[in-house]
Structure 1
Amino acid sequence: MTTSASTLGQRLRALRRERGLSQTDLAGGAVSASYVSLIESDRRTPEPPVVELLAERLGATVEYLLTGRDRTELNERRLRLRFAELALANGAAVEARDRLLELSQESDHELRWEILSALTRAYEALGETDRTLEGVERLIDAARRGEELPGGLLPLLMQRCRILSEAGDFGRSIELGEQALEEVRLLGLEGTDDEIRLASTLVAGYWGRGDLATAQRLVSRVIERAERNGSRRARGSAYWNAALVAEARGDLTLALDLVEKALALMAEDDSEHSLARLRLTYAWLLLRAEPPELQQAGPLLNQAYEVLLRVMDTGDLAACETELARLELLSGRPADAVGTALRAMGRLETRKAVEAGRARWVLGLAMVSDGRTAPGIEECWTAAEELQSLGARLEAAEAWRQVAELQARHIGADRALEAYRRMADCARVRPPAPLPDPDAGESGELSR
């Protein structure tokens, strides 16, 4: 159809003229020519049977007369959307983004939220955090207005919370996560799978900020609800984030037990992308054991990397490369570790993210181990500053402690002392008040 008219009446007139019909010809005795004229001038809204009759006589569809879009046209757009989603699922995020941007310019009301949802996922895969959050906020607003969205409101609230944490904005992530949980309670959705997974994501925010007491209280409630009401996926999500908290509290044995439970629960029901991220967490825990479990961690990282290379999620791929670099470092291959850590940093060069600080940290350690002591320690110092500036207090404190040890061993005590002070800042330990000067004499005594 060649017309681009914007109202039913305009479309009717354009099609009638294309067919070479008069208003009387189109009316055909079933309705009057004046009635057709009123419809064409948008002064009369026809009843459904009349629309069906006119569409049949014009060789058009009812849907086209009512909406300006033919079902064939809509199906063609839907097919293009599915091809874009396939490209995204297979790691071609740039291709997917470009296809989706083209579709989004066509203002298709029926598909606009599906298109925006897919476009937001493409932006996230490309590491474009600001655009991702902008898309998520638009989808959240639409869901609250009652629009029908793929997945609904709660997964969007969870996604926003997770993205903010990964970007290092733990305060905002926690604030919005707590608001979302309150909203869920008011909606009567407490105990649902989505609520359990939202609360689990909030646990990760508290863990990232180093607020382990709050994280532990929340994760205990989440596990209780998950074990009572949750699906395998919800229980797996709860155990996954509980493992992070357990490790941070010094119980690596419990952390490994929890992550193994999560893997067993999610192995059958979750996406390969989620399973790759879970295997990455498992390997990270194994590398923190004393001594590190290198033989067990290696295959897990290789499995995860194979999947993440295919789906090409920039942040997760960089995280996996960081842990592969750590594995190489602990295996006595510091030069290989330097190259892998640099590759991870290259993926994150346009992002302000906690993972960038982690990658730089491993790079610095690898350089020190490879004999480039001074520049390696400088990289470690910069990494600790990055982690601290992003609010990752627990990881920053750990980094500053190791920087202090490296400084004391290789450089000198002055900067080591500064690193210890930074570590205390991360733990929110206030510097002591100065003691009274003993030479002040009676000026410090109370007057009588």
Structure 2
Amino acid sequence: MNPAQEAALRAVDPVALGERIKAARVRSGLRQAEIGGKDVSVAHVSRIEAGKRRPSPALLESFAQRLSLSVDDLLWSPYGDVGDETRLEIDFAELALENADARAAERHARSAIEALPVGHPLGARAAFLHARALEAQGRLREAVAELEPLAVSGTVSSANAAVALCRCLRETGDLARSIEVGEDVLQTLRDSGLMGTDDAVQLVVTVAAAYFETGAVAVAARLCREAIASAEALGSAKARAAAYWNASMVEAHQGHVAEALPLAKRALALLSEGRDARNLARLRCMLGVLQLRSDPPQLDEAFATLTSGAEELRATSASPVDLGRNAAGLARIHLMKGDLVAAERLGNEAVDLVAGSGPLVEADARSVLGQAAARQDRPDLAQAEFLRAVALLTSSGADRSVAELWYELGACMDDLGLVAEARDAFRRAAASAGLYLHPGTAPRGEADPSRLLPTGTPGS
């Protein structure tokens, strides 16, 4: 490599260089292991393509040779350079997201997109940041439209975009599509030998969360085990935190709260080491939910955890769905403490935050509102809230949560002395869980469906 090329390598944007290397590899039909050869690991190639590492001069020459290109082809974009103003717009968009200013992030990313030539490698990064800004504002369907092409492109990490896409699809209640997209990208990563990366582990746990909501707990557990194995081999704190996080969720669903709590706390400690403030706050919210599900419930600890999580969420690029999930958890604490006024206030706050964009969280909040109404001897309102929640979950395919809500409704109706309504709700709970409850079974006694159904809703 000549001195001019070495100087250019020191000055080049590593993200732009990584995107050019990846695009050239994809066009050549090569795997990362094939362009790395014996010189470097697949994980190191992945980090270079993601812009997280700058290759050495010798390694760049090796890449160029295996890609049948010149070093100049990789160092200098065929689209020409872009002005510093455009690069600054992209940097400002990322900084705005970190500082919880989603509107500013959207504005800067849009400005960069408009300034870049069509097909420029930095365009994909700008589009990704723009989609993240839309998500942070709760405009999930718009974010999905922008993320879908990025999840299969060769210009930005497809796994990174797929994580965001699957998360948005899951939050909008489109669980089937979230699973379909995630599985397709995971298969591509497996075929290409790219599973040993942070983004791949994040994608596995995101798909596991969608499976979990559909009631496919065994599949979710298998994916969590796969993610933990990959994360431990990778040694990434962020990847390990994501894997422990989802494993904790699955353990909680199976009733193993004592086992779930240490996993969640371990994930929390790992995330605290890095800069992932949004996921740190979201995980803190999940820990609060697990504390609620302890036997006996750790109400004071859960309240402190969720209150701290709410403060952290407001300081990050958290979406209205994240904030709504936290509000629903706090509402449930007040319900358990008997403060029905606060439970209703926070439950309605959660509904207002996620209306039209977060059906899974809205259903959880309406469950709290239904129980609060039942305790105030307002059976009609209680039933209406539960039926709204069931409708939201049924349209999402969230069979596990549907069964739990039908059971909660049955218990409330039973407490109010509405035996026929309770019996019908219990039968529906059993059907949603794939069980059969004889039409003549009473809601009380030996056939109590609580023996058959899971209880509670862990965070995600």
Deviation at 1:372, TM superposition (A): 3.6
Q: Find the counterpart in structure 1 of residue 328 from structure 2.
A: 322
- Verify: 1:249 aligned to 2:254, yes or no: yes
Cα 1:267–1:362 shift into 2, 3 Å: same
Could you tell me which amino acid in structure 1 is paired with residue 336 of structure 2? L
In 1: Cα distance, 2:222 partner to 2:236 partner: 21
Q: Distance in 1 between matches of 2:159 and 2:108?
A: 27
1:104 to 101, 113, 135: 113
The match for 2:369 is 363
Answer yes or no: is 1:235 the counterpart of 2:266: no
One-letter amino acid of the structure 2 residue matched with residue 196 of structure 1: V
Residue 406 (structure 1) aligns with = 412
**Structure 2 CA distance for partners of 1:290 and 1:377, relative to 1, 3 Å:** farther
| 1:391 equivalent in structure 2 | 397
Q: Secondary structure in 2 aligned to 1:250?
A: coil
The 1-side partners of 2:391 and 2:81 are apart by: 58
The alignment partner of 1:105 has SS state of: helix
Question: How high is the sequence identity, in percent, across the aligned residues?
Answer: 33
- CA separation of 1:142/1:194 partners in 2, compared to 1, >3 Å: closer, same or farther? closer
Tell me the equivalent position of 1:208: 213
Structure 2 match to 1:91: 100
Number of aligned positions between the proteins: 360
Asked whether the equivalents of residues 191 and 230 of structure 1 are also in contact (C-alpha less than 8 Å), the reply is: no
Question: CA offset at residue 281 of structure 1?
Answer: 0.6
> 1:196 and 1:84, CA in 2 relative to 1: closer, same or farther beyond 3 A?
closer
CA contact (8 A) 1:91 1:313 kept: no
Partner SS, residue 300 of structure 1: helix
Aligned to 2:383: 377
- Is 1:178 the counterpart of 2:183 in the alignment? yes
Pair 1:160 & 2:165 matched: yes
Checking the alignment, whether the CA contact within 8 Å between 2:152 and 2:185 is kept in structure 1 is no
Q: Does 1:76 align with 2:85?
A: yes
| Residue number in structure 1 paired with 2:4 | none
Q: Structure 1 residues 259 and 202, CA, compared in 2 at 3 Å: closer, same or farther?
A: same
C-alpha deviation, 1:373, in angstroms: 4.0
Which amino acid in structure 2 is aligned with residue 85 of structure 1? E
Q: How does 1:184-195 map to 2 (within 5 A)?
A: 184-195=189-200
Mapped pair 1:134 → 2:140: no
Contact 2:369 2:385 in 1 (8 A): yes
How far off its partner does 1:323 sit?
Answer: 0.8
Contact 1:272–1:307, Cα closer than 8 Å, also in 2:
yes
Superposed displacement of residue 297, structure 1 = 1.0
AA paired with 1:378? Answer: A
Tell me the distance in 1 between the aligned counterparts of 2:152 and 2:126.
Answer: 16
Question: CA–CA distance in 2 between the matches of 1:291 and 1:277?
Answer: 23
Distance 1:191 1:115 in 2: 26
The Cα shift of 1:133 comes to 1.0
Look up the match of 1:222.
227
User: Structure 2: how far apart are the matches of 1:351 and 1:212?
Assistant: 25
- Give ranges in structure 2 of 5+ residues lacking alignment: 1-77, 440-460
CA contact (8 A) 1:192 1:230 kept: no
- Given the superposition, is the C-alpha separation of residues 372 and 335 from structure 1 closer, same or farther in structure 2, using an over 3 Å criterion? farther
Aligned counterpart for 1:296 among listed residues 293, 301, 323: 301
2:86, 2:116 within 8 Å by CA — same for their partners in 1? no
Deviates more, 1:328-337 or 1:250-259: 328-337
2:268 corresponding residue in structure 1: 263
Equivalent position SS for 1:142 = coil
Distance 1:225 1:89 in 2: 28
Matching residue's letter, 1:118:
L
Q: 1:225 to 1:352 in 2, by over 3 A?
A: closer
Q: Is the 8 A contact 2:134 2:140 kept in 1?
A: yes
Q: Which residue of structure 2 lines up, in the alignment, with residue 113 of structure 1? A: 124
Q: Given the two structures, how large is their TM-score scaled by the length of structure 1?
A: 0.74
Q: Distance in 1 between matches of 2:379 and 2:432?
A: 25
Looking at structure 2, the residues matched to 415 and 385 of structure 1 have their Cα atoms a distance apart, in angstroms, of 17
Write the letter of the residue equivalent to 2:136: A
Deviates more, 1:173-182 or 1:232-241: 173-182
Distance, in Å, in 2 between the alignment partners of 1:191 and 1:142 is 19
CA distance in 2, matches of 1:267, 1:247: 22
From the CA coordinates, give the structure whose radius of gyration is larger.
1
Deviation at 1:275, TM superposition (A): 0.5
Quote the offset at 1:117 in angstroms. 1.3
Shift of residue 114, structure 1, vs aligned partner: 2.6
User: Aligned residue for 1:33?
Assistant: none
- Cα pair 2:171 2:357 within 8 Å, conserved: no
Comparing both chains, which one has the higher relative contact order based on Cα–Cα distances under 8 Å and sequence gaps of 6 or more? 2
One-letter amino acid of the structure 2 residue matched with residue 77 of structure 1: T
Q: Distance in 2 between matches of 1:166 and 1:356?
A: 10
How much does 1:336 deviate? 1.0
CA–CA separation in structure 1 for the residues paired with 2:261 and 2:138: 29
Distance 2:180 2:107 in 1: 34
Match of 2:38 in 1: none
Alpha-carbon spacing, 1:224–1:101, altered in 2? closer, same or farther (3 Å)? closer
Q: Which residue of 1 aligns with 2:70?
A: none
Gaps of 5+ in 1: 1-65, 434-448
Q: Matches of 1:219 and 1:88 in 2, distance apart?
A: 29
Distance change (3 Å), C-alpha of 1:87 and 1:226: closer
CA distance in 2, matches of 1:308, 1:262: 17
AA partner of residue 363 (structure 1)? L
Write the distance in 1 (CA, Å) between the matches of 2:103 and 2:376.
36
Deviations 1:182-205 (A, max 9, x none): 111111113333322222222212
SS at match of 2:153: helix
- Aligned-pair Cα RMSD in Å: 2.5
Segment drifting more, 186-195 vs 81-90 = 81-90
CA contact (8 A) 2:379 2:413 kept: no
Letter in 2 for 1:428: G
